Structure 1
Amino acid sequence: MNTILVTGGAGFIASHIVDKLIKNGDKVVIVDNLSTGKLENLNKEAIFYNVDILDNKLKEVFEIERPDYVIHHAAQIDVQKSIRLPIDDARINVSGTINILECCRKYNVKKIIYASSAAVYGEPKYLGIDEEHTVAPISYYGISKHTPEHYIKVYSELYDIKYTILRYSNAYGIRQDPKGEGGVISIFVDKLLEEDNPVIFGTGEQTRDFIYVNDIVDANILAISKGDNHIINIGTGVAISINELFNSMKEIFESKVKPVYKEARKGDILHSYFNISKAEKILGWKPRYPLEDGLRETIYFYKEIFQHRSFAASTKEE
């Protein structure tokens, strides 16, 4: 049995990873300060520490638990917030990762798996983006996700800590918070449930590569034993415009709601999708969920919750 420490394990993606690790029979330790993570996302079979990755108490967690592997997802992930608060963004994403790496060094962690982002590439010079593409972020978030990659590589060289860096495209799925992490799909779900008009920034013709959370989980599980000292893109390799995305979701909802268009935001990339051939070659990974399947699974989940709450509220009023 491996002991695996997951940072951000009460958050959207990492909580699903925790569930899968526990199902696989691993001992799982979660470190999360609950700034965006939620108690209801915590797996009861995991050991939970309410600790910030910047806190000195992190060393105590490593001292007690002695993890074999670390899966690092705790981060500031809001592009617009990074532009408003660049110091906070760097402190959490860069200094927080260094603190984790110091603990990995001191307590002989075998490997760290780091959740990076498509934001490191900036405005693409070609599509699909492969791992050899120039790194030229256009937001502070992109910088603060890329900088730890350098630290991870040097720690690996100096202290023989293996790593796999997974650069995610646009993640979506169950447990994504429209008010917190702000993924466009979760925002659209929220608005369509409320029959409210969602905002689309720019023309809506910008394209993205949307990857379902269960596929990301699979990549992380494979990276425990594969992909040593590699950077690997995790996406679908398929682009869809925001307008097409909204129309597909609207159809599943059978809704007549229309979007409101506003000026494009600074730091937002126009077009992006990945080349994922390296993931297949190195990890033996391919996405299992076409966008429509992932959307249906996500939407049906939230529809059931919404209907249950609406029923409970109406019963209470009576």
Structure 2
Amino acid sequence: MDLPVTAVGAEPPTDLMPRRVLVTGGAGFIGSHVVARLMLMGSEVRVLDNFSTGRMENLADAACGGLTEEDIVSADIRTPEGVEVIHQWQPDVVVHLAAQPSVPTARHAPLYDADVNVFGTVNVLDACARGGVRLLVNAASSDIFGSVAADELPVREDHPITPVSPYGVSKAVGVHYLDWYGRQHGLSYTSMVLGNVYGPRQAGGDCGVVSLMVDALLGGRPAVIHGDGTQTRDFVYVSDVAEAIALACHHHGVGTVNIASGRQTSVNEVYEAVREASGVGGAARYEPPPWPDEVRNMALDTRKARELLGWYPRVGFVEGVRLTVRDARRRQSGSQHLSPMWALSR
């Protein structure tokens, strides 16, 4: 299977101001940054989240920008109630970030993963197609590409889809459904294939390697590295991702586009960056890889994002790790600055 890359719509202008934007998963790690960025750009935003992984305190910045409790819909994208807001509120743009985000969870519970990432996504797409939404911006993952030969890195958008994990499969199915809705129902879309996103507010047992290492070292535990640590990923800071999504909302659909740094960074390099930023010494603990089919190396070609959206990553990896460590220290000290509304809603 090849990834659909045909742009949907005409040459993307930069002056399409989305008046109303609905963000599914808007209280999550990435979604909360997107909500705050869109509000800063002048859009009216509503959040749809079932709060299984999202947190009300993530929306503190958006609350300072004017987001109210009335702008938050607590519902599941798999239910009719979850997508009713699309028909009732009639947003210009829907940013679809709600997902089952954990690769380990997908391996242990593939039925649940598919229920959220496939059925939930189709439920959102169908509501958008029937509700007259101008544009849908979707979050895909580099896991859809699976294992890629070294001489084919960084991966372009037209690379064949060959996922090797249940998570990659479910995200790939969502991409193909999006392409079908674009062709059959005229739903304009931008599907963003994200690298390994990291930064403030990423937390939980199955979160990304950067945050896992930060939490381990600041908590006085050794960071765990699976394998020899020479495996690579393409890391992109969350504010850069939020900027890319906000830019996409101001364009016509551009099809599938990679959002990443375009560079490979090894897990060993991640550990050294976290160790230096945290000032915590000690050796990492190396353990066998949990899965024999884990992707060895990954990097994404981002030229299309630069050409069609005018986007490029601004935060370097070392600086991003430093900011992530600083945020983790603030969270550990309990110095989160919440407005009264969000504090009472916790």
For the aligned pair, the TM-score class normalised by the smaller chain equals over 0.9
Query: Contact 1:226–1:282 (CA<8 Å) still a contact in 2?
Result: no
Corresponding residue of 1:72: 96
Deviations 1:126-156 (A, max 9, x none): 2111112121000010010011111111111
1:172 to 193, 198, 202: 198
Question: Are the structure 2 counterparts of residues 151 and 94 from structure 1 closer, same or farther at C-alpha, using a change threshold of 3 Å?
Answer: same
Deviation at 1:102, TM superposition (A): 1.4
- Percent identical residues: 35
**2:225 matched to 1:208?**
no
Question: Are the structure 2 counterparts of residues 80 and 66 from structure 1 closer, same or farther at C-alpha, using a change threshold of 3 Å?
Answer: same
Query: Contact 2:254–2:308 (CA<8 Å) still a contact in 1?
Result: no
Query: Contact 2:48–2:74 (CA<8 Å) still a contact in 1?
Result: yes
Please tell me the residue identity of whatever aligns with 2:57.
E
**2:117 matched to 1:100?**
no
**2:204 matched to 1:187?**
no
Deviation at 1:225, TM superposition (A): 2.7
Deviations 1:231-261 (A, max 9, x none): 1111101111111110111012121122111
Tell me, in whole angstroms, the C-alpha distance in 1 between the residues paired with 2:333 and 2:108. 36
Deviation at 1:50, TM superposition (A): 0.6
Tell me, in whole angstroms, the C-alpha distance in 2 between the residues paired with 1:124 and 1:40. 38
Deviation at 1:290, TM superposition (A): 0.7
Tell me, in whole angstroms, the C-alpha distance in 2 between the residues paired with 1:186 and 1:5. 27
Structure 1: gaps (5+ residues):
310-318
Deviation at 1:308, TM superposition (A): 5.0
Aligned pairs for 1:152-167 (under 5 A) are 152-167=178-193
Corresponding residue of 1:302: 328
Report SS of the residue matched to 2:38: helix
Deviation at 1:79, TM superposition (A): 1.1
Corresponding residue of 2:140: 116
Corresponding residue of 2:269: 244
Query: Contact 1:78–1:182 (CA<8 Å) still a contact in 2?
Result: yes
Aligned residues between the structures: 308
Corresponding residue of 1:255: 280
Report SS of the residue matched to 2:257: strand
Deviations 1:270-302 (A, max 9, x none): 111111111111111110011011111111122
**2:55 matched to 1:5?**
no
Deviation at 1:226, TM superposition (A): 2.8
TM-score when normalising by structure 2? 0.86
Tell me, in whole angstroms, the C-alpha distance in 2 between the residues paired with 1:106 and 1:237. 36
TM-score when normalising by structure 1? 0.93
Deviation at 1:227, TM superposition (A): 5.8
1:25 to 42, 48, 73: 42
Query: Contact 2:77–2:83 (CA<8 Å) still a contact in 1?
Result: no
Tell me, in whole angstroms, the C-alpha distance in 2 between the residues paired with 1:227 and 1:68. 11
Deviation at 1:88, TM superposition (A): 0.7
Tell me, in whole angstroms, the C-alpha distance in 1 between the residues paired with 2:129 and 2:107. 32
Query: Contact 1:7–1:74 (CA<8 Å) still a contact in 2?
Result: yes
Question: Are the structure 2 counterparts of residues 143 and 129 from structure 1 closer, same or farther at C-alpha, using a change threshold of 3 Å?
Answer: same
**2:318 matched to 1:292?**
yes
Deviation at 1:175, TM superposition (A): 0.4
**2:244 matched to 1:219?**
yes
Question: Are the structure 2 counterparts of residues 227 and 189 from structure 1 closer, same or farther at C-alpha, using a change threshold of 3 Å?
Answer: farther
Query: Contact 1:110–1:162 (CA<8 Å) still a contact in 2?
Result: yes
Higher relative contact order (CA 8 A, sep 6+): 2
Tell me, in whole angstroms, the C-alpha distance in 2 between the residues paired with 1:26 and 1:63. 19
Tell me, in whole angstroms, the C-alpha distance in 2 between the residues paired with 1:71 and 1:272. 25
Runs (4 or more) in structure 1 with deviation over 2 Å come to 304-309
Corresponding residue of 2:157: 131
- The range that moved more, 55-64 or 128-137, is 55-64
